[in-house]
Structure 1
């Protein structure tokens, strides 16, 4: 068991290192090919900045050096623990990421829990009631939301719940003009409800449809048909047989959805002007803030990869056959 886990983690760590190096190279290359001029983005549209001043700014940020020299300098720096300074926020990259990630983790965490629980329950109900009205309603809901853009749904929610009904704030994570330390818990919850709801509603459909398909497979198995022949009720069959067999693939799918969760967060934070990691990613890309963008790329990869590792570990814990008969 310990030897197997050791081999498992060694392979995962080596794969993570390989992915990180490849990601850094690809991200840097794409930024180099981008038409965005970091110096112009840094000074803005001001015409008062002379060519000499632009050259000094480029020298200060190391933008006057060849691409390979800049990449190698950044790579050595990040290995030593120095992630550089953000050109947008004028602060260390790790400090900016830590602050933004703390805001986003609440949004992603709430959405992840809601989408997982609600999607799983709806999938169980839809699969157990195949062909009935409730099944058609749930499937219709899923099909519609699967083709609905996240940003469009966010705008719709703002129009209905913020502008028309006035139930929730339009944007931001705290009230305007209020110091963050003075914001109450109720106010923070009011600001996070709509973004979290937008992010979770879209994700519910994939979990629901996946769970439904697994339930249908199980309901057509021989031991379920035998249980029905003995006169067991559908509710008892679901509780005693279906839940146990569906939970494992559902848990795996939920942890594997970290990439979709992070991608959806970028759109949601843009729509709601939510000051999280997703909004910082867009700003860094549009303004050529290479140190910040590279740092966010690394953090996002580690975040998504962690979800995959947790899913694999849960497989090993829940299903002993994986530990004994299959090498991860």
Structure 2
């Protein structure tokens, strides 16, 4: 077990190193002058040379990369070109909004998607199955931004026009200031994120569970007289959880790197909104910081998923 964990950890380190090389050369060797972004269009050549020297852009590329990696290991991701604030501080201030969105969305989409998938699999070919597949089809067909704008129109604009407030337009409120206000501002983002993603989990649960229910050990369990509930939830669901955990780990890691569409629609000042602003401003240190953060989340999620495999599947042990 320890050897397996160390192998996965070593592989994760190699992935992060490869990502750092890719990101560095993509943003520091790509066309464009960071000094011009910092100084503006009216800067003189002498001012540009001074900025390049201050940023270390006049040094060889290998030296710049070594300095970048050395500082990144220490938690220093550099300074924003636009406001000269530490990138790590900017990202840290945005993480609570993104984490709140992801955690609530995960809880809601699992609570919706898995039961619908189980219902469809247990009643394959029936009206319940067709109802479940209709939900899956609608959920997969709706783009996230369309569902978000529709939610704002129906649950914010129309009630406000009628003279009462059902949900706020958006924005993020810190949890510690007022937990009720925090949840109230996140209900619509959670619902929008969950309804689209729940359809994916419902489809995955249905397909995997149908496959498992056709296995010999399931027929044997039924032949022994075990109740259908135990067959489903004690035997079949354990095998079904493996692909679900794989998908869940990837989804959580991806969303923690910034749920750009949801954050933009509802005005949540999270990591995704920060990345959009950085791209618009050509603020390369922030873009690099967000990309590296997303890569770190994905690597960590894969390690956790691999460890969960050993608990769910005896063959892995």
Q: Same fold (TM over 0.5)?
A: yes
The separation in 1 between residues aligned to 2:159 and 2:182, in whole angstroms, is: 19
Give CA-to-partner distance per residue, 1:163-211, whole Å, 9 cap, x none: 123422212113xxxxx69952222212111112222222111211111
The reply to whether residue 22 of structure 1 matches residue 21 of structure 2 is no
The separation in 2 between residues aligned to 1:320 and 1:236, in whole angstroms, is: 20
The separation in 1 between residues aligned to 2:74 and 2:233, in whole angstroms, is: 53
The separation in 2 between residues aligned to 1:43 and 1:30, in whole angstroms, is: 22
Asked if the contact 2:257/2:294 (under 8 Å) is kept, the reply is no
The separation in 1 between residues aligned to 2:257 and 2:74, in whole angstroms, is: 29
The separation in 2 between residues aligned to 1:78 and 1:236, in whole angstroms, is: 50
Aligned to 1:326: none
Q: Structure 1 97/260 Cα, relative in aligned 2: closer, same or farther at 3 Å? A: closer
Q: Give the CA deviation at 1:263.
A: 6.4
Aligned to 1:186: 180
Q: 2:290 aligns with which of 275, 293, 296?
A: 296
Moved more, 75-84 or 264-273: 75-84
Asked if the contact 1:41/1:288 (under 8 Å) is kept, the reply is yes
Q: Give the CA deviation at 1:69.
A: 4.7
Asked if the contact 1:269/1:275 (under 8 Å) is kept, the reply is yes
Moved more, 107-116 or 145-154: 145-154
Q: Give the CA deviation at 1:268.
A: 1.0
The separation in 1 between residues aligned to 2:258 and 2:137, in whole angstroms, is: 18
State the secondary structure of the residue aligned to 1:91. coil
Aligned to 1:116: 110
Give the CA RMSD over aligned residues: 2.9
Give CA-to-partner distance per residue, 1:259-291, whole Å, 9 cap, x none: 443467122112212111111122222222222
The reply to whether residue 96 of structure 1 matches residue 96 of structure 2 is no
Aligned to 1:141: 135
Q: Give the CA deviation at 1:130.
A: 0.7
Asked if the contact 2:99/2:256 (under 8 Å) is kept, the reply is no
Q: 1:317 aligns with which of 303, 311, 315?
A: 311
The separation in 2 between residues aligned to 1:79 and 1:61, in whole angstroms, is: 19
The separation in 1 between residues aligned to 2:251 and 2:204, in whole angstroms, is: 12
The separation in 2 between residues aligned to 1:61 and 1:172, in whole angstroms, is: 35
Give CA-to-partner distance per residue, 1:199-235, whole Å, 9 cap, x none: 2222111211111012111222334445556777644
The separation in 2 between residues aligned to 1:33 and 1:201, in whole angstroms, is: 41
The separation in 1 between residues aligned to 2:120 and 2:254, in whole angstroms, is: 23
Aligned to 1:170: 169
State the secondary structure of the residue aligned to 1:207. helix
Asked if the contact 2:171/2:267 (under 8 Å) is kept, the reply is yes
The separation in 2 between residues aligned to 1:98 and 1:34, in whole angstroms, is: 27
Please give the residue correspondences for 1:1-328 in structure 2 after superposition, counting only pairs within 5 Å.
5-32=1-28, 38-39=34-35, 41-42=37-38, 53=47, 56-63=50-57, 67-166=61-160, 167-174=166-173, 183-225=177-219, 234-235=228-229, 237-262=231-256, 265-323=259-317
Q: Which runs of 5+ in 1 are unaligned?
A: 175-179, 324-328
Asked if the contact 2:102/2:255 (under 8 Å) is kept, the reply is yes
The separation in 1 between residues aligned to 2:75 and 2:230, in whole angstroms, is: 56
Asked if the contact 1:126/1:139 (under 8 Å) is kept, the reply is yes
How many pairs align? 312
The separation in 2 between residues aligned to 1:138 and 1:181, in whole angstroms, is: 35
Moved more, 152-161 or 85-94: 85-94
Q: Which runs of 5+ in 2 are unaligned?
A: 161-165
